[in-house]
Amino acid sequence: MKHIIKRLAIVAALGAALGSTPAMAEKAPIKFATPVDFTAVYTFLTDEYSQGQRDYITLLNEQGGVDGHLIELSVSDTGNQPQRGIEAYNRAKRDGAVLVDFLSTPVARAMVNRVNEDEIVMITALHGRGDASQGEAFPYVFPVMATYWSQAALLADFMNQQEGGLKGKKVAHVYIDSPFGKEPIPVLEALSKDLGFELKTFPYASPGNEQTTTWSDVRRYKPDFVIIWGAGGGQAVSIRDAIRNGIKPEQIHSVVWLAEADMDAVGRDTAKGVRKFSPTVNGADSPLLKEIVGTVIEPGKGAGPKERVGSTYYNIGVATMAVAAEAARKALAEFGEPLTGEKLRKGFELIEGYDAQGLMPPVTFSAQDHQGGGQGRVVSWDGETWAPETDWHASFQDIVWEEINKGAEQYKKEGK
Amino acid sequence: MFYRLSGIRHTRYAAARQLWPIPADRWQVGVLLALACLAPVLFSPFYLLSYLLPWLIFTAAALSLTLLMGIAGQLHFGFAAVMAIGAYSGIHLVRAGLPFELALLGAGLVAALIGTVFGAAALRVKGLYLVMATLAMQYLVDWVIINVPVISGGAQATLQAPSTTFLFVPLATGVARYYVALLWVLFVTLLLLNIKRSAVGRALVAVRDKDYAAAVIGIHVVRFKLVAFFTSSFLGGVTGAVLAFCYYQAVTPEQFTFNVSVQLVAMVLVGGLGSVIGAYLGAAFVLLVPIVLTNLVVLLNDLGWLNASTNLLSHIPLMIYGVLIIGFLLLEPLGLGKIYDNIRKYLLVWPFRHSDL
C-alpha cells in the first residue's frame, strides 16, 4: 500500500521531469519508512519531528535526490503500540525499505532482533536502547545522536565547570519513574564518585502531571544543582514545581526533552535561565534550514505549519534524515547500486565528521561506534530562544562506553 | 436450508452432546481449521506474521479473560499484568535452562499463583470494587517489573527471548511461531467450549448470576471464584509467554501497560461476554481494525481524496474506530458474537422466521 509521502516524491519527480534533468527520475527510489507515534505518548514531539524529516526529504528530492535516486519516505501512525509497529515494519520490509525510524522506545526495542536479522537499518535518535551504540552487538541499530548516558555526562560536566566545580556539591536527579527516567542513574553514580559530588534521586510517578510531594522532598535536600529527566507535559510541571520550591531556573538542567512549548507552559520569563542538553542548533538560521525555507517552505511544499520550522524537535527531525541521506550517499558512492540495508549500514559507518552544514555537531560512525561521538551542547533559555552555553563537545565518553559495553555484552550473551 | 436440520437424528447421547451437533457447523469449523493450518501457504509472510499471528495470540488472551469476566462474572482490569508475569517468567525459566514446554507451564503457574492472590479480593468485593483491586494489581506488577532489575533485565529494561525449540522444532522461523500460537489458541478454544458445558462451567455461571443463590443450591462459591481466577490467570500467563516468544521476541514493561488491559477488556466486551467466537471477533476488531483503518486513510490520502495534516490523518482512524465501537454496541449490546449468533439462528430456520432453539 502506498503512503502519504509517496505523493511528495511524485511531486518532486514531476518537478525533476519537467526541469532540466529528466534522466534522474528514472533511477530506483530509496525507501525509508517512519511509522511513528502521532496519537499516544510521543505526541509532544512527533508532529514537529516528522515535519522536519519530511521537509528535509522534500528538499533533497527537489535537489535531485541522493545521486539521482529520489527518497520515498512513508509516514504512518503506530500509536506507540508494539503490535502496530511490527505490522508497519513488516509492511516496510515487504515494500523494500532500507531504513526505519519508529520514534518509540517500546516499538524500537521489539524491533532490535528483527532489523539485525533482516538487515534493515533502524535509527533510534533519542529513543530505544542506549547500548545499541555498540555497533558490533547491534550492527543495524544507529542511535545517531548522543544517548541519554552521554547527555547526563555532558550535563554533569557542565555543572562541574560552574563556580568551583562539583566537588562536595549536592545534585538532585528528579525523574519520571520509568526505565527512561532511571537510565542515566548508573552514569551519574559513576560520575558522582569521580567528581566527588553527592547524588540523590527523586522519582515522580508517571505521567508526571502531579509532582508536588517529590519537589518538597527536593527542597528539603537543598540541592546545588537539579537534573530533570522527563518528557512531554511532565517537564513543564517539573520546572514550575522547582521554581515554586525555591530552586532557581539556573540550577535546573534538563534532558533533551524540553522545547518552546514547555517554556510557554511555564511562562517564557519565569523559565529564563533553565538549561538543557541540545543535540542540534536551534532556530532556522543555519544554512541547511535556510535552504529548506527557500526551497521547500516558501514555495508552499512544506509538510506542516511554517511557525514550527526551526523549532527544537523540527531540527532534530531534519538532523536524523540528513545523517541517513549522507549514509545513503556514501553507500552508493562506495558500494554502488542497488542500495541495500547492508550497504546503507556500511555507508553509515563511513560517515566522518558530518555536521549537516552546521546544524549539528560533527558525527563520526564506525563499526564499533553507532552513537557518532556523543556530542552536543548545553543551552539556556533566554526568554525568547535557546542560547548556547558551550561549544559542541562530548564528555566522559569512557564512563558512557563502559555502560554501553556492559549492556551490549549482556545483550550478546542473552540474545542467542 | 443452510443449516439443514431435517433428517439429522442423534441416536446416542454422545452424538447429541458433541460440540457441534449440526453438520453445517462442523463443516464450517472444519473449513476454518483447514484454512488456519494452510495459512502459511495461503498467505504471504507479511499477512501471516503481521495480522494472523497477533490475532491468534490476542484471541487466546481474550478467551482467557472471557473465562473470568464472561463466564465467572469477575471483572478484571489488570489482565495485561497477568500476561506480563507469564511473559517474564517464561523468559527467565528458559534462560535458567528449562525446556520451552516446561517453561510455558511454569509461566502459567506463576501467573496463576499471583493472579489468584489478587483474585482473593474477589471473595470480599464485587463489581466496581473488584475493578479497583485488579487495577491495583496492574500498577503493582508494573512497578515491580520496572523497579526490580533482576526481573526487567537491567538498565535497558528489555529482555530478549532466547532462541528455543517447541517439541524439537526450533522457533526460528515465522511459520514455526505461527503454529505454536495456533496450537495454543486451539487448545484454549476447546478448553473453553468444554468448560462451558461442564459442571464447572455451570457452577461458574451460577456464581456469576448470583453468588448467594449459587451458595444456596450447594455451590462452594469461594472455591469456584478462586478456580476461575486460577484457571484464567494460568491461561493468561501462558498466553503472555507465547506472546513474548512467538511475537514480540523481546519484552519491555511498556508492552503490558494498563492500556493493554483496557484493550483486552474491550476485546471481551466488543466480542460479547462469555462468547468463544466473540473473543475471536473482538480480538480482530480491537487489534486489527485500527491498523486497517490507518492504512485505508493513508490510501485515500494517496489517491487525493482526503486532504488533511498528518496529525489529523492519524486521528481520523481513531474517530472512525470509536464510532464503530459505539455503533456495534448500539446495534447489539451483547457483542459481535451475538451478531454472529443472530445470523446463524436466522439461517437455521430460514425461510421461516422463528426458531425454538
- pLDDT at site B1: 64
d(CA B298, CA B50): 18
Domain count, chain A: 2
Predicted confidence (pLDDT) at residue A23 exceeds the cutoff of 70: no
Contacts of A36 in chain B (CB under 8 A): none
Q: Is A403 among the domain residues?
A: no
Burial (CB < 10 A; 0-12, 13-18, 19+), residue A197, is buried
Q: Is A404 among the domain residues?
A: no
Do residues A78 and A107 make contact, with C-beta atoms less than 8 angstroms apart? Answer: yes
Could you say which of B95, B146, B299 has the minimum Cβ distance to residue A179?
B146
Q: Is A217 among the domain residues?
A: yes
Predicted confidence (pLDDT) at residue A5 exceeds the cutoff of 60: no
Please tell me if residue B164 touches chain A, with a CB cutoff of 8 Å.
no
Predicted confidence (pLDDT) at residue A18 exceeds the cutoff of 50: no
Q: Is A386 among the domain residues?
A: yes
User: Do A228 and A165 sit in the same domain of this protein?
Assistant: yes
User: Do A184 and A308 sit in the same domain of this protein?
Assistant: no
The type of residue at A11 is V
* pLDDT mean over A335-356: 95
- pLDDT at site A416: 46
Please tell me if residue B315 touches chain A, with a CB cutoff of 8 Å.
yes
Q: Minimal Cα distance from B44: which residue of A?
A: A94
pLDDT tens for the 357 residues of chain B, in order? 678 788 888 899 988 888 998 888 999 999 999 999 999 999 999 999 999 999 999 999 999 999 999 999 999 999 999 999 999 999 999 999 999 999 999 999 999 999 999 988 878 888 899 999 999 999 999 999 988 888 887 666 788 888 889 999 998 899 999 999 999 999 999 999 999 999 999 999 999 999 899 999 999 999 999 999 999 999 999 999 999 999 998 888 888 999 999 999 999 999 999 999 999 999 999 999 999 998 898 888 888 787 777 788 888 999 999 999 899 889 999 999 999 999 998 888 887 776 554
Best of A49, A73, A83 to mutate (most B CBs within 10 Å, chain B): A83
Best of B298, B305, B306, B316 to mutate (most A CBs within 10 Å, chain A): B298
User: Do A161 and A228 sit in the same domain of this protein?
Assistant: yes
Could you say which of B159, B252, B314 has the minimum Cβ distance to residue A38?
B314
Look up the ipTM and state it: 0.88
User: Do A221 and A233 sit in the same domain of this protein?
Assistant: yes
A157-168 tens-digit pLDDT: 999 998 778 999
* pLDDT mean over A233-250: 95
- pLDDT at site A334: 94
Provide the domain limits for residue A168: 148-278+378-396
Largest CA distance in chain A: 69
CB proximity under 8 Å: B 112-151 to A: 143, 146-147
CB proximity under 8 Å: B 218-277 to A: 247-250, 252-255
The type of residue at A2 is K
Say how many C-beta atoms besides its own lie within 10 A of residue A306's C-beta: 12
Q: Minimal Cα distance from B302: which residue of A?
A: A4
Location of C-alpha cell 469456584: B224
d(CA A75, CA A93): 14
What are the DSSP calls for A117-182, one per residue?
Answer: HHT-EEE-TTSS-GGGGBTTTSTTEE--S--HHHHHHHHHHHHHHSTT-STT-EEEEEEESSHHHH
User: Do A252 and A383 sit in the same domain of this protein?
Assistant: yes
Domain residue extents for chain B: 20-256
CATH code of residue A351: 3.40.50.2300
Q: Determine whether the interchain pair A94/B317 forms a contact, defined as Cβ–Cβ distance below 8 Å.
A: no
Reported residue count of chain B is 357
Best of A77, A81, A133 to mutate (most B CBs within 10 Å, chain B): A77
Q: Minimal Cα distance from A92: which residue of B?
A: B46
Sign of CA dihedral B101, B97, A82, B86: positive
The region that residue B175 occupies, defined by phi over 0 for left and psi between -120 and 50 for alpha, beta otherwise, is alpha
- pLDDT at site A159: 95
Q: Determine whether the interchain pair B250/A109 forms a contact, defined as Cβ–Cβ distance below 8 Å.
A: yes
d(CA A105, CA B198): 45
Q: Tell me the shortest Cα–Cα distance from B45 to chain A, in angstroms.
A: 9
Q: Is A191 among the domain residues?
A: yes
CB-defined contacts A:B, below 8 A: 131
A269-317 tens-digit pLDDT: 999 999 999 999 999 999 999 999 999 999 999 998 999 999 999 999 9
Contacts of B309 in chain A (CB under 8 A): 304
The region that residue A81 occupies, defined by phi over 0 for left and psi between -120 and 50 for alpha, beta otherwise, is beta
User: Do A239 and A339 sit in the same domain of this protein?
Assistant: no
Q: Confidence class of residue A10 from pLDDT cuts 50, 70 and 90? A: very low
* pLDDT mean over A66-90: 92
Contacts of B54 in chain A (CB under 8 A): 83, 86-87
Q: Is A413 among the domain residues?
A: no
Q: Is A303 among the domain residues?
A: yes
The type of residue at A145 is M
* Residue B141 cell numbers, joined: 506488577
- pLDDT at site B308: 76
Which residues are CB-contacts of A198 (< 8 A; sequence separation ≥ 6)?
A168, A169, A170, A171, A192
Average pLDDT value over all residues in chain A: 90
Please tell me if residue B158 touches chain A, with a CB cutoff of 8 Å.
yes
Q: Minimal Cα distance from A11: which residue of B?
A: B302
d(CA B43, CA B49): 10
Cis peptide before A207 (omega within 30 of 0): yes
- pLDDT at site B46: 93
Predicted confidence (pLDDT) at residue A113 exceeds the cutoff of 70: yes
User: Do A44 and A108 sit in the same domain of this protein?
Assistant: yes
d(CA B266, CA B283): 8
- Order the strands of the A252-254 sheet from edge to edge: A198-204, A170-176, A225-229, A252-254, A275-278, A377-381, A386-388
Q: Confidence class of residue A2 from pLDDT cuts 50, 70 and 90? A: very low
3-state helix, strand, coil in chain A (%, to 5): 45, 15, 40
d(CA B54, CA B60): 10
The type of residue at B194 is N
User: Do A44 and A105 sit in the same domain of this protein?
Assistant: yes
User: Do A140 and A65 sit in the same domain of this protein?
Assistant: yes
Could you say which of A3, A87, A113 has the minimum Cβ distance to residue B302?
A3
Please tell me if residue B187 touches chain A, with a CB cutoff of 8 Å.
no
Strands (E), chain B: 159-160, 165-166, 169-170, 250-251
Q: Is A188 among the domain residues?
A: yes
- pLDDT at site B356: 57
A167-199 tens-digit pLDDT: 999 999 999 988 889 989 999 999 999 999 999
User: Do A237 and A286 sit in the same domain of this protein?
Assistant: no
Do residues B25 and B343 make contact, with C-beta atoms less than 8 angstroms apart? Answer: no
